Amino acid sequence: MQLTEIRIAGFGGQGVILSATILGRAASIYQGLFATMTQSFGPEARGGASSAQLILSESPILYPYVTQPDILVVMSQEACTRFMPELKDGGILIVEQDLVRISALKPNTRVFSVPATRLAEELGKRMILNSVMVGFFTGVTQLLDRDAVARAVADSIPPSLRDLNLKAFSKGLDYGLSQSATVAGGEFEDVAYLED
């Protein structure tokens, strides 16, 4: 894997930081890759802006900050507005489709959308949307091994919520794999979520 810059952003309470921690753990502990993660969030416990920067590589990482993400995951409109200009041309944009509307894209951006909050609510807890998003990320990017990410989810979640989060991960993964297959087949449904 070449050096890959990832930014995950949303608002406090969505599990933005935990999502990045899980992906970094999967890469570094279970796949033997190098990973760095930095985070920023507002003073509010919930509802304020939150973002995490994750860099993955097969070789040591010399600079731990994302300069131009290859992959941008946004779970709020504010995060999309703030960070989309940074996305690399030809990058991947992953959005929470019920919370984010996109008005303009950089050239060759690949967009994937998932109703992560809705899928989490179907499982009984809105707060597990981050595990749905981690599964979706794993399915559409195929950057990390799905078993490695599942093990990282299991290791990062308290035992009382582990099974539920693993179900959420699987639900997001299946949704992501179906989106990935649709794109590979030459169709691209996600454009329907863009505003003119």
Q: SS in 3 state form for 129-167? A: HHHHHHHHHHHHHCCCCHHHHHHHHHHHCCHHHHHHHHH
Both structure tokens of 55: 């860099």
Q: Is 113 in contact with 190 (CB distance < 8 Å)?
A: yes
pLDDT at position 64 is 87
| Total domain count, the chain | 1
pLDDT at position 50 is 86
CA separation for the pair 9, 48 (Å, rounded): 11
State how far Cα 102 lies from the chain centre: 17
User: Is 195 within the bounds of a domain?
Assistant: no
User: Is 165 within the bounds of a domain?
Assistant: yes
Q: What is the mean pLDDT of the chain?
A: 88
pLDDT at position 185 is 40
pLDDT at position 9 is 94
User: Is 89 within the bounds of a domain?
Assistant: yes
DSSP H or E segment with residue 118: helix 116-122
User: Is 196 within the bounds of a domain?
Assistant: no
User: Is 192 within the bounds of a domain?
Assistant: no
State how far Cα 82 lies from the chain centre: 16
Find the domain containing 153 and state its range. Answer: 4-187
pLDDT at position 47 is 60
Q: Is the pLDDT of residue 75 over 70?
A: yes
With a pLDDT cut of 70, the percent of the chain lying above it is: 88
pLDDT at position 45 is 52
CA separation for the pair 84, 27 (Å, rounded): 25
* pLDDT band with cut points at 50, 70 and 90 for residue 188: very low
* pLDDT band with cut points at 50, 70 and 90 for residue 43: low
Task: Provide mean pLDDT across the span 127-133.
Answer: 94
The CATH number given to whatever domain includes residue 22 is 3.40.920.10
Q: Is the pLDDT of residue 11 over 90?
A: no
Q: What interhelical angle do 129-141 and 146-156 show, nearest 10?
A: 160
User: Is 177 within the bounds of a domain?
Assistant: yes
Task: Provide mean pLDDT across the span 24-41.
Answer: 93
Q: Is the pLDDT of residue 193 over 60?
A: no
* pLDDT band with cut points at 50, 70 and 90 for residue 48: low
| CA 93 to each of CA 9, 102, 152: distance values in angstroms, whole numbers, following the listed order | 11, 10, 23
Task: Provide mean pLDDT across the span 115-130.
Answer: 94
Stronger pLDDT, 185 or 50, i.e. the higher one: 50
User: Is 169 within the bounds of a domain?
Assistant: yes
Which strands form 71-74's sheet, in the order they lie side by side? Answer: 34-41, 49-57, 4-11, 71-74, 92-96, 110-114
User: Is 178 within the bounds of a domain?
Assistant: yes
The three-class DSSP label of residue 194 is: strand
